[in-house]
A and B are shown apart, each in its own frame.
Chain A
Amino acid sequence: MAKLKINGIDLEVERGTSVLEAARFLGIPIPTLCHDDGLTPYGACRLCVVEVGSANGNGRTKMLSACTLPAEDGLIVQTHSAKVEKARRLLLEMYVATCPQSKTIQDLASKYGMRQERLAPKHDNCIQCGLCVRMCEEQMMAGAIGFAGRGAKRRVSRPFDMTSSLCRQCGACMYICPVCELRCHGASAESTLCNGCLNFATVCMQSYDDAMCFLDPCHACEIGGPLRSDVPVKLSAVKSAAQEK
């Protein structure tokens, strides 16, 4: 067992537990974008950073991602210090600018007090949280998608940019995607924010890409490929499909 302190609360958890899990056990919310309970921690979105010190650390602290930090004896964790809050606000400002349509990101931004946007919107959509890649490999045992490229050119892709024979078109990648989930849940009248299939010709990765939204015909929207830029969007078809639901 490991004894640690989170926001002043003493806690004993099993070894191997992450600080994120420990905090959630206490009911302390920590925002994440790249974490899912069934997948290996990745530590890429950095939203879950917490301020970590130790009893003999002379008050020195480090900012570490809670999802990848194993709970250890003597850790002193602050999940909502001023520094953490500032980091989250700034990260969310960057996230909103990168991916303005995502309801998940908008909700987080609103919840964590992001009140100004100083960066130009980019409409990148994909935030490269890697959830789809891990989902495909670890839960669906397919490994049909992965990352390609480096830095600004890094993207989710398929081997040689062709549909992999490993892909079973299960749709798990869409299910878990935090930035296009609304869109991929289908065109529903209640969702006022995204309605991607109604409003946008582009989806997850700028253009329609088989890796992210490959169902043809699209199961979620129940019509054949409305999101492809080469197929004109038939609004009437989408709307009637939604009404039938």
Chain B
Amino acid sequence: MPDFCGLELAHPIVNGSGTFDAIAARRAFGDELDAAFPFSAFVSKTITLAPREGNPPPRLWEAAGGLLNSIGLPNKGLEGYLAEDLPELARLPVPLITNVMGSTVEEVAALVEALGEREEVAAIELNVSCPNVRTGLDLGADAAELGRVLRAVRPLTATPLIVKLTPNTADVASVAAAAEEAGADAVSLINTLRGMAMQPGRAGRPWLGARTGGLSGPAVRHVALAQVAAVASRVAVPVVGMGGVTSGRDALELLHAGATLVAVGTESFRDPAAGRRISGELSELAANRPFVSEV
């Protein structure tokens, strides 16, 4: 039973933010879903202070061994989340981690403060793959800026803070170290890799409505392994590893690379019960092949 930021979880498999909608899934698959919930903790999609409609379609492109998406974080905003979604998510049989994003310190602070007060929220994950209004760079691409934001919001809550790191930066381990130093209780990675797809038959025209998107799925798994290993060897806080996991074996590799938990994302699109299958495969692997150092 992994201990993650004081949460006792039944197994190490959680979902990646934005890849599983527990409320929509309950509507599609019925309440039985809760009885066999695929994850040991549920991570919400990203909540912002104001509601967002998301990016213009098309939003999806099937890539080689993966998916390029430019969804654009549509959500009801903090007020809508607290009023409509939180009561439903609180009924889940597993702890709730709420993912938030803000483009200024003030926005992040307002989100952290409001969610930190809610006992239904077991942890807060900060999505820092957002352009910083002050610098124009992604907040999570810049160790100093990320440290500045975290130091400002850390004192606002005792709820564990997880920083969801972006892979679109030169040195993810340094950003992770800055997050740890500024009081992050855990880090999670990788977020999607920035990518682009062209319209078939239309030279030079991007397919996605937002021009670029984020790549996920098995295509990014080896990037994830490298970044998780680099970060885990640099920080002492727990690491949530994710990127292209489709099997218990993939999950085990991330654990061996230093992750405490493993998130399943794009694979849940193909099979909504994938989390349950992967955690089953993982415990079978652990039972059959006790950890042996391969060095």
Q: Do chains A and B stick together as partners? A: no
